[in-house]
Amino acid sequence: MSLADRDRKVLWHPYTQMQTAPAPLEIVRGEGVWLHTADGRKILDGISSWWVNIHGHSHPKLNEALAEQARVLEQVIFAGCTHEPAVKLAEGLLEVLPKGLARVFYSDNGSTAVEVAMKMAMQYWSNRGEPRRKFIALENAYHGDTVGAMSASGRSIFTAAFEPLMFEIVHVATLEQMDAALSSGEVAAVLIEPMLQGAGGMLMWPAEFVRGVRQLCDRTGALLIADEVFTGFGRTGKMFACEHAGITPDLICLSKGLTAGYMPLGATVTTEAIYNAFLSDDRAKTFFHGHSFTANPLACAVACASLEIFKEEPVLERIAQLEQQLREGLERLRKLPHVADVRVLGGVGVVELASGGGYLDKSGPKLAAEFLKRSILLRPLGNVVYFLPPYCIAPEEASWVIEQMTDVLQ
Ligand SMILES: Cc1ncc(COP(=O)(O)O)c(C=O)c1O
């Protein structure tokens, strides 16, 4: 029996309609931007394996860091214990994060990084004896699939079945609406995906908007949570998307590129002021949150090695080169009658088709199949076709993908 047949008998894949989805690709090896299949094909990973991979698959330095760590300590409880990779990674993160962030709390994926931020924000106010219950988020937001992160996300087909379960969040589309929503004074925190909303349709925002949100939060005391699970670690051309606006959030959520896409790890990083609100002789003020795999040493070790790669290799320069290629290459598609918009930021190139059917638009699966025939792994969000490869993609490889995108979309 083939692997795909065995898979079909026992597995259930994420975001996959199992009745109609094509057979999964059998991936046996990854190297740089390439995924190798069991039947000998070589496919370019145009979505960085769900936006996680940044330095390419099977990077020798990352492989070595992981293997070396596995030889000494694979996992240990992180309540009451610590270890070198966790401390070293926190130190390394604080060096590169926007100034003012001072305390790292680990979890194990993007959704939990967001859950932690929301719970920290709410308990911060409660510990101060000034409870605030409301959250504000943006329309079309995507913050993850656990219930809190899902509540913060925009309402969509992703969330429809769970409507009764979700707590109330005010979703806004403009600074004016946010200003109005903040006026009640009971807002614990505002959540944004700075500069770039991912799963909601690869929507891009100007830096002034992010600065405006920071100002509104400063004025009303609401905490600002920047969800950089997708945008962090170079994806938008800066190490963190908040840098485009020159702002520091009160809490930042990290995952995906944190470990260069090698291991599940989340981090919620906050300020000393927020951390201090949890310090007390009263044990009830403890932050009662943790996951079995918090600060997994393997994940932390590979994340440390990834930060070193940012220092040793011209990573941000590579992203700038890719951005320029995407701008020049994709812009030409704007004139096509069925193209509604072309957007580029950092290492993310987006072509939005005018069909406008949203996530369930029929063009998505058809386009994915056509790109696969051409040995490129893309996974359009319905009518929104996007390309975001590992940063190590060679200029010739990026040109080739842009040519293929042009040909298919024409
Ligand atoms: C902005 C953002 N936040 C949170 C998440 C959730 O991350 P995870 O899938 O690791 O739970 C994602 C995932 O795509 C994301 O793009």
Identify whether residues 92 and 194 lie together within a single domain. yes
Residue 377: pLDDT band with limits 50, 70, 90: very high
Residue 339 is part of a domain; what is its CATH number?
3.90.1150.10
* Each residue's pLDDT tens digit, 1-55: 999 999 999 999 999 999 999 999 999 999 999 999 999 999 999 999 999 999 9
- In this structure, which residue's CA is closest to atom 13 in ligand 1? 144
* Each residue's pLDDT tens digit, 202-242: 999 999 999 999 999 999 999 999 999 999 999 999 999 99
Identify whether residues 30 and 83 lie together within a single domain. no
Identify whether residues 283 and 329 lie together within a single domain. no
Q: Is pLDDT at 358 greater than 90 in this prediction?
A: no
Residue 262 is part of a domain; what is its CATH number?
3.40.640.10
Identify whether residues 120 and 90 lie together within a single domain. yes
Identify whether residues 192 and 67 lie together within a single domain. yes
Considering the chain, what is the average pLDDT of its residues?
97
Identify whether residues 185 and 196 lie together within a single domain. yes
For the CA of 199, the closest atom of ligand 1 is 16
Q: Cite the active site residues.
A: 15, 142, 227, 256
pLDDT of residue 168: 85
Mutate to test the pocket of ligand 1, among 138, 229, 254, 386 (most ligand atoms within 8 A of CB): 229
Rounded Cα–Cα distance for residues 242 and 100 (Å): 13
**Which residues span the domain enclosing 393?**
3-55+314-409
Last residue of a domain, one of 262, 287, 312: 312
Last residue of a domain, one of 283, 312, 341: 312
Residue 299: pLDDT band with limits 50, 70, 90: very high
Identify whether residues 353 and 224 lie together within a single domain. no
Give mean pLDDT, residues 278-289: 97
pLDDT of residue 364: 93
Rounded Cα–Cα distance for residues 113 and 228 (Å): 10
Identify whether residues 22 and 40 lie together within a single domain. yes
pLDDT of residue 159: 93
Query: Could you tell me if the CB of 352 is within 6 A of ligand 1?
Result: no
Structure tokens at 217: 């939060």
Q: What percent of the chain has pLDDT over 90?
A: 97
Query: Could you tell me if the CB of 238 is within 6 A of ligand 1?
Result: no
Query: Could you tell me if the CB of 150 is within 6 A of ligand 1?
Result: no
Rounded Cα–Cα distance for residues 236 and 238 (Å): 6
Query: Could you tell me if the CB of 261 is within 6 A of ligand 1?
Result: no
Rounded Cα–Cα distance for residues 5 and 230 (Å): 33
Query: Could you tell me if the CB of 199 is within 6 A of ligand 1?
Result: yes
Rounded Cα–Cα distance for residues 376 and 353 (Å): 19
**Integer angstrom CA distances of residue 75 from 79, 86, 273:** 12, 11, 30
Amino acid at 288: F
Whether 81 and 148 have beta carbons less than 8 Å apart is answered as: no
Q: What percent of the chain has pLDDT over 70?
A: 100
- In this structure, which residue's CA is closest to atom 10 in ligand 1? 110
Mutate to test the pocket of ligand 1, among 52, 118, 143, 252 (most ligand atoms within 8 A of CB): 143
| Ligand 1 center from residue 254 Cα (angstroms) | 9
Question: Which DSSP letter does residue 57 get?
Answer: B
| Ligand 1 center from residue 144 Cα (angstroms) | 5
Residue 357: pLDDT band with limits 50, 70, 90: confident
**Torsion (CA) 207, 395, 257, 243 in degrees, nearest 10:** -20
Give mean pLDDT, residues 277-284: 97
pLDDT of residue 19: 96
* Domain total in the chain: 2
- Please, how many CA atoms are within 13 Å of residue 43, restricted to the half-sphere of its CB? 28
Identify whether residues 191 and 156 lie together within a single domain. yes
pLDDT of residue 82: 98
Mutate to test the pocket of ligand 1, among 230, 235, 258, 388 (most ligand atoms within 8 A of CB): 230
Last residue of a domain, one of 291, 312, 333: 312
Structure tokens at 142: 């995507």
- In this structure, which residue's CA is closest to atom 3 in ligand 1? 143
Identify whether residues 218 and 363 lie together within a single domain. no
Query: Could you tell me if the CB of 203 is within 6 A of ligand 1?
Result: no
